[in-house]
Amino acid sequence: MSRQQPVELASGGNMAGHPSRMQVPRVIPDDDTLERLHDICEVVLTDDVSLAGASRDWWPISIKWAIDGAVPALPAAVAVARSAEEVAGILAVCRESHVPVTTSAGRSGVCGGAVPLFGGVVLDTTAMSGIRDIDAKSLTARIRTGTFGPPVEEELQRNGFTLGHWPQSFDISTVGGWLACRSAGQYSTRYGKIEDMARSLQVVLADSSIIHTGSTGPRSSTGPDLNHLFIGSEGTLGIITEATLTIHPVAAASCRRAWSFNSVSDGLDACRMILRRGATPAVLRLYDADESSLHFGTDGVSVLIAYDEADQGLLDWTCATIDQECASQGGEPADADLVGRWFEKRNDVSALAPLYEGGIVVDTIEVAASWSKLHSLYTGCMGSLRSLEGTLYASAHLSHSYIDGACIYMTFAGQMDGERTTATAEAYYNAAWQRVMAAVIQAGGAISHHHGIGIHRSRYLRDAMGSTWKVMEALKGALDPTGILNPGKLGFSSYIAETPWP
């Protein structure tokens, strides 16, 4: 229920020992600006340990840098906001002084989104915590966005409800981070992605006005849905301070299923047909043969696991549908204990740090495509990773399904050559990402399903958005004319310098 980093920074909390890895100008607010921030916020941190803590998130290549004692980029101050009004005040001061503001929550992002690329001020949202109210009749909850996952579920479940949003990073991420990155929980096939849950938002704009988006009813026909302007905007268009999200009664029963397939393609067809029949099991995951072997000890088969929670009648039908469609695609029933094995290990990322410490680069890439493109996207991406010099391991699973397509989640590990230096790690890392992003764009897929863009994917976003990019630029120009909000992220150019690549 708090921030956590994959590895300790080498050389302790001494900032002098933590050079910034990103070679860009660092904006340092003057004394007057810092004084004005102190007038607004009770807590403004400028000590070395706090600045080093706010300089990084879970962007995997920065784990390698942390082992070397370097951080991605250091801020000059961390301003901890307790209310939307304080957020508005911080933005006013920074706007007037042309100081960049990077919103930072759980810092569990994996693309460098919370890294204060050009220094300036980090706006820490985590003191804006707690559930404001629960509407038990309409099934909505109004939640302050700095709230981490565990207190959200604890309070909801005390009242008999669940949000149903269980990202693997549940313990270390916040409601605001989920909204800002269009997060997906492990039960998304039943409860939806975070954008499906959002009914209305309170947002502080760069001009310090506090607005409320969304309708007062469940749906409306009152112009475009402006919630979606801010959901996924990663702190570049406004700061989300409160959200009204849909909730659900805690389910009465649950069920589990496991099947195996001789090919990924048969398993994908089974998933597609399950969704097409109208079944939405909370968890529906299909692992390719390498990943099945790693997680379940199987040999040469693709394992499908399903878990659902609902009323018994609905579960009976859902499980019967899963069984029928898996059998129709040539699947073999497998031990449902495999689902239990997944539950035991599902949030365990303890293998990551030792691999980095051993000089191996590891990362995950989650992308999405329609069913008609999904198999070629999978084979294209796997081929591009496996044929890359230095790849030691590459595998994938289907993690989130929809009636029209699904998310493919890849894991890869490697090293460019025999020498395990930071430069060769970066070279391998960049080559792997470039290959996969090119394969996804070529296959007609989405370059991210739920991790977002941050610094790392910024270089690919314009190509991926094509003709719609000019709309993004117009929005940025209109909502943040001085460009202070999270500069250098989400593909936007910045008034300070170009976004560099590691």
Which residue's CB is nearer to ligand FAD, number 20 or number 486? 486
The footprint of ligand FAD on residues 262-281 (CB under 6 A) is none
Q: Is the Cβ of residue 300 or residue 500 nearer to ligand FAD in the bound state? A: 500
| Chain mean position to CA 50 | 23
Nearer to ligand FAD, 245 or 326 (CB): 245
Print the binding letters for residues 469-498 with ligand FAD: x by CB under 6 A, - otherwise: -----------------x--x---------
Could you give the string, one character per residue 340-379, with x where binding to ligand FAD holds by CB under 6 A and - elsewhere?
Answer: ---------x------------------------------
Nearest residue (CB) to ligand FAD, 269 versus 366: 366
Q: Name the CA dihedral angle for 436, 55, 204, 247, rounded to a multiple of 10 degrees.
A: 60
Instruction: Choose, by CB under 6 A, the member of 20, 34, 53, 57 that binds ligand FAD.
Output: 57
Binding residues for ligand FAD, how many (CB under 6 A)?
A: 37
Secondary structure, 3-state, 404-438: CEEEEEEEEEECCCCCCCHHHHHHHHHHHHHHHHH
Rounded to whole angstroms, the Cα distance separating 283 from 256 reads 9
Interface region with ligand FAD, contact rule CB under 6 A, candidates 13-21, 28-36, 105-113, 310-318: 105-113
Write out the binding residues for ligand FAD, residues 117-156 only, by CB under 6 A.
125, 145
Distance CA 194, CA 213 (A): 16
Among residues 27, 91, 99, 110, the one that binds ligand FAD under rule CB under 6 A: 110
Q: Are 75 and 85 in contact (CB under 8 A)?
A: no
Q: Which of 74, 114, 201, 271 binds ligand FAD (CB under 6 A)?
A: 114
350: amino acid identity, one letter: S
Question: Sign (positive/negative) of CA torsion 343, 446, 175, 456?
Answer: positive
Name the amino acid, one letter, at 19. Answer: P
One residue of 53, 72, 89, 113 binding ligand FAD per CB under 6 A: 113
User: Which of 103, 244, 494, 499: binder of ligand FAD (CB under 6 A)?
Assistant: 103
The two counts, helices (H) then strands (E), for the chain are 18, 18
| Residue with Cβ nearer ligand FAD (117 or 273) | 117
Q: How many CB atoms lie within 10 A of CB 23?
A: 9
Looking only at the bridges linking them, the beta strands covering 140-144 and 131-135 are antiparallel
d(CA 413, CA 57): 20
Residues 6+ apart with CB under 8 A from 351: none
φ/ψ of 423, rounded to 5, equals: -65, -40
Scan residues 191-210 and list those touching ligand FAD (CB under 6 A). none
Q: Is 234 near ligand FAD (CB under 6 A)?
A: yes
Give the closest residue to 173 by CA, choosing from 42, 349, 10: 349
Pattern of binders to ligand FAD over 162-191, x per CB under 6 A? -----xxx---xx-xxx-xx-xx-------
Q: Which is nearer to ligand FAD, 40 or 243 (CB)?
A: 243
Cα distance between residue 41 and residue 126, in whole Å: 13
> Tokens 């506090």 belong to which residue?
210
Residue nearest to ligand FAD (CB): 177
Q: Which is nearer to ligand FAD, 204 or 301 (CB)?
A: 204
Query: Which positions lie near ligand FAD, rule CB under 6 A?
Result: 57-58, 102-110, 113-114, 125, 145, 167-169, 173-174, 176-178, 180-181, 183-184, 234-235, 239-240, 349, 450-452, 486, 489
